[in-house]
Structure 1
């Protein structure tokens, strides 16, 4: 009997998953545990393993299509086996009807069009369209059966500032010029589209300002070397400079709660806890896993969480719940030799700290010139929430913690 390949639920907040690429085609042999398809949800990309040995009999959901968790996306069975999809189809239809009934109680926006047809769309897509003032009837859905997905609405939001004729002409020009110049034209991946939409929205919907400062981390480097032998022996790991920076940020946020805030619906929301976002660069894009309740963690515990989340991000094992709810973000480009840069806010947060590469510099100290390790810090903040002086005080507090590193261990 054929085995179903099902769209998994990657966290409680997941509404839909998108098929990125099928690694196998219909008729191919597959082995249990073999990665046969890649999927995306929000900013997570992960691979689904074959649940059984056999042949990929049928691909139900094609690449770039989005479906809810629990949807059958393919079947594995014996070669030439006849599929009985009636039960699965009935179950999915029942789930769909139940979902629509529930959605109707919350979002009264899926109504018959003037032509008598019903606009089929996901809950997230309808909510986004309602907020953006976009008529769903004007969107062409790319989901199964023409269902409008979140990505469709995000695309419509991005294009609503451009006249349709201009957008069409622009796309045509890009393709034509690319063909003439021999350039490679590749459609943006689902993850890239999400990043593009959010980053553009961040700049358009907030008043961002960046200020720079340098912290003397010579003593911090020395302390790290001193304690890492003990940390390695006791915990089987080593502390990084990023771990100490994260700890300094958490302590500074507790002293400057205005930076641990968000601007939501013309209200300033100030959090009593610190959910720290730590940006991780992947080959397919950038993700920001979140350390929950970082204020309750020691520097060693914080380091463990950061390392665990980073590893899960790189191996595609993060769940969507681990990518939401951050109250402040840290992004480090020092490993690439970058000095100062301008990080973009992770909305609706009030601030994000960019960290550059520490470099040796001559500093006049104690009546003499000394070589000290100077760490560039770049703080981007939302001026709607925080003014320049309070933001500078927050950055100064981070600097003080980094220059008196023993306080980070307490």
Structure 2
């Protein structure tokens, strides 16, 4: 019997997503677990997987359409099965459903008017990206069905505009209050430039520049504000000597094809501390404390698209080279916008490292529902007393932000002691 495929909840609290592309065409069979379509949320792309083997009989919405959670997007069943009965549940036939989907995709469309200019079709995602970039629809040629503007068209247009901006002349020093906007290079069918008030620009005499919020930046702001307002943070600070750690890193990199960073070693040390103090490997829920069997650690990555924190799984079982390779993969996927929703979920703790920027120390905001985040500063030489003698050692400042609902002060101090021991005695990281 034919059934409807509906939009799953792709992220906690989400009400809609963009169906960016179909991975299975109409009348094509698929196996259980196969990816049928890709949904895009504010921060990641999520594949819709099949629960059972079947045939995708009919697409009910086009790629690029905005869809609500629970809305039907396709009809599944057996080869050649009649879909009319299923479509009747929607209160219409195939044509009506397809027309409704097309109307939703062409946001702001109106009835045909012979005297009106030709309507430009674009997916909601394409429209949103163009608005954020300050590029008018008319400046982009669509390559999708019926000339529809899709994501790859937007990315190509943005690349052209960025190239034009790079080649633009620098404003003269005698006119500091004005910024010369770069001349765009739109396709032949479009207007010569984007509207000045649509692009991020410093207006003459205004004294400031307004840059519209990206979707990722808006989500980051919302989540971190909620975290700081609802999660009772407290902080534990320790300083660790890392000369032995740096020496181990040099030895490893002399023989390893994958270069190990200090951050990779710190991530491994966090896993060692979690194994030593398992009561810290928890998160708070309204009904119970949830304790995890594996150590999953988030890694804060400042990508070209914004801050993301993908999660490394079962870090206590990973080698240093495996940790290094996975972090590099996450960084590349973050820059390209290819992180999946499942990459961003889970974990009880995250690591945020600003040491490469020369920051001595800082405190980070917890990424809910995780219970802690470790802020890592720069390793710098300084005086320290060892066995009663004053010595110079490379010291690293570590600040742990903790959710007091899940972890008490004494437990946090015990965990930090285990972390510092792992960092100062780095052979524990390769055991």
Shorter-chain-normalised TM-score: which range? 0.5 to 0.7
Separation in structure 1 between the aligned mates of residue 95 and residue 239 of structure 2, nearest angstrom: 60
Q: Which of 361, 364, 371 matches 2:385?
A: 364
Aligned partner of residue 209 in structure 2, secondary structure: coil
Q: Which of 312, 327, 338 matches 1:306?
A: 327
Report what 1:195 is aligned to. 220
Change (3 A) 1:304 1:338: same
Report what 2:153 is aligned to. none
Report what 1:216 is aligned to. 241
**2:268 paired with 1:253:** no
Report what 1:388 is aligned to. 409
* Alpha-carbon contact 1:9-1:70 (below 8 Å) kept: no
Aligned partner of residue 209 in structure 1, secondary structure: strand
**2:111 paired with 1:90:** no
Change (3 A) 1:71 1:192: farther
The 5 Å alignment of 1:57-76 reads none
Separation in structure 2 between the aligned mates of residue 219 and residue 60 of structure 1, nearest angstrom: 54
Which structure has the highest helix share of the two?
A: 1
Separation in structure 2 between the aligned mates of residue 92 and residue 349 of structure 1, nearest angstrom: 44
Change (3 A) 1:391 1:12: closer
* Alpha-carbon contact 2:382-2:395 (below 8 Å) kept: yes
Change (3 A) 1:184 1:87: farther
Displacement, 1:306? 1.6
* Alpha-carbon contact 1:276-1:290 (below 8 Å) kept: yes
* Alpha-carbon contact 1:10-1:41 (below 8 Å) kept: no
Displacement, 1:12? 9.3
Highest Rg: 1 or 2? 2
Displacement, 1:40? 5.5
TM-score (norm 1): 0.59
Displacement, 1:71? 7.1
Displacement, 1:323? 0.9
TM-score (norm 2): 0.56
Report what 2:349 is aligned to. 328
Q: Which runs of 5+ in 2 are unaligned?
A: 1-6, 21-38, 47-61, 75-92, 102-202
Separation in structure 1 between the aligned mates of residue 215 and residue 247 of structure 2, nearest angstrom: 44
Aligned partner of residue 378 in structure 2, secondary structure: coil
Displacement, 1:309? 1.5
The 5 Å alignment of 1:82-161 reads 90-91=97-98
Number of positions where the alignment pairs a residue of Structure 1 with one of Structure 2: 272
* Alpha-carbon contact 2:350-2:374 (below 8 Å) kept: yes
Separation in structure 1 between the aligned mates of residue 295 and residue 209 of structure 2, nearest angstrom: 44
Over the aligned positions, Cα root-mean-square deviation in angstroms equals 3.6
Displacement, 1:367? 5.5
Report what 1:355 is aligned to. 376
Report what 2:428 is aligned to. 407
* Alpha-carbon contact 1:10-1:320 (below 8 Å) kept: no
Separation in structure 1 between the aligned mates of residue 231 and residue 358 of structure 2, nearest angstrom: 29
Displacement, 1:303? 1.9
* Alpha-carbon contact 1:276-1:291 (below 8 Å) kept: yes
* Alpha-carbon contact 2:19-2:63 (below 8 Å) kept: no
Change (3 A) 1:360 1:287: same
* Alpha-carbon contact 1:362-1:371 (below 8 Å) kept: yes
Q: Which of 232, 247, 253 matches 1:228?
A: 253
Q: Which runs of 5+ in 1 are unaligned?
A: 1-7, 21-38, 47-58, 73-85, 95-177
Report what 1:126 is aligned to. none
Displacement, 1:283? 3.2
* Alpha-carbon contact 1:40-1:191 (below 8 Å) kept: no
Report what 2:364 is aligned to. 343
Aligned partner of residue 366 in structure 2, secondary structure: coil
Q: Which has the higher contact order (CA 8 A, sep 6+)?
A: 1
Displacement, 1:42? 3.1
Q: Which of 277, 282, 288 matches 1:267?
A: 288
Change (3 A) 1:220 1:10: farther
Aligned partner of residue 294 in structure 2, secondary structure: coil
Report what 2:118 is aligned to. none
Report what 2:302 is aligned to. 281
